[in-house]
Amino acid sequence: MVYHSSFKEEGQYTQACGCPLLPLRSHIKGPAPVLDSAAVGVDIIDEAINFFRANVLFRKFEVKSAADKLLIYLTLYINMALKRIEACKTEADGIKAIISLGLEKFPIPGEGGFPLGGLLTPPQSREEAELFRSYLKQAREETSGRLIERVYRPNGRPNKWWLAFAKRKFMNIMLPL
């Protein structure tokens, strides 16, 4: 059974490109609303990382809420990050690779190379495009930082139980490296 996002309130969050801009527990500057960690301890990034190893095994994913679209994107991003880390020999190289991945320019809906064209709508204005790009950039950077903690053990060795999933394709899609 596929795991879906627990963020179900459709009208509560600002939307861009048909995707909600959910609050994040993040120290990185960006347009994401700040999640009150006292009220709720889990954000969409935690859900994506926690559900990744189960969800990546599925070829189909039924979207039940708008937050599931963001969960799908972050799952694909985690898969791409694991691919990059898998090629690194040391923890320092892995950290450098995943941080640079979070900072790279990437396509958004309506641009060539965006893998989820039918799932998210192209932006209606330049402001919406910039808002969505900066939100995804913030989410990618935060995901990269949290993923490092899971992929590498305290002794600096990679966790094979995470890197084994780098070979899997979620929904038979791979984000371009």
**Global pTM?**
0.92
Rounded Cα distance between 145 and 89, Å, is 19
Q: Which residue bears the tokens 């969050």?
A: 13
pLDDT confidence of residue 23:
92
124-152: pLDDT as tens digits:
999 999 999 999 999 999 999 999 999 99
94-119: pLDDT as tens digits:
999 998 998 889 999 999 888 887 89
Tell me the β-bridge partners of 34: 24
**What is the CATH T-level fold of the domain 15-167, as seen in this structure?**
Arp2/3 complex 21 kDa subunit ARPC3 (1.10.1760)
43-99: pLDDT as tens digits:
999 999 999 999 998 888 999 999 999 999 999 999 999 999 998 988 999 999 998
Instruction: Say yes or no to pLDDT of 173 above 70.
Output: yes
Residue 42, helix vs strand vs coil: coil
Instruction: Say yes or no to pLDDT of 177 above 60.
Output: no
The residues spanned by each domain of the chain are 15-167
Rounded Cα distance between 73 and 69, Å, is 6
Exposed e or buried b for every residue in 3-39, given b needs 16+ CB within 10 A?
A: bbbebeeeeebeebbebbbbbbbbeeebbbeebeeee
pLDDT confidence of residue 40:
61
Rounded Cα distance between 58 and 3, Å, is 10
Q: Residue 166: which pLDDT band, with cuts at 50, 70 and 90?
A: confident
Contact by Cβ (8 Å): 60, 9 = no
Rounded Cα distance between 33 and 26, Å, is 9
Task: Extract the tokens encoding 66.
Answer: 């708008």
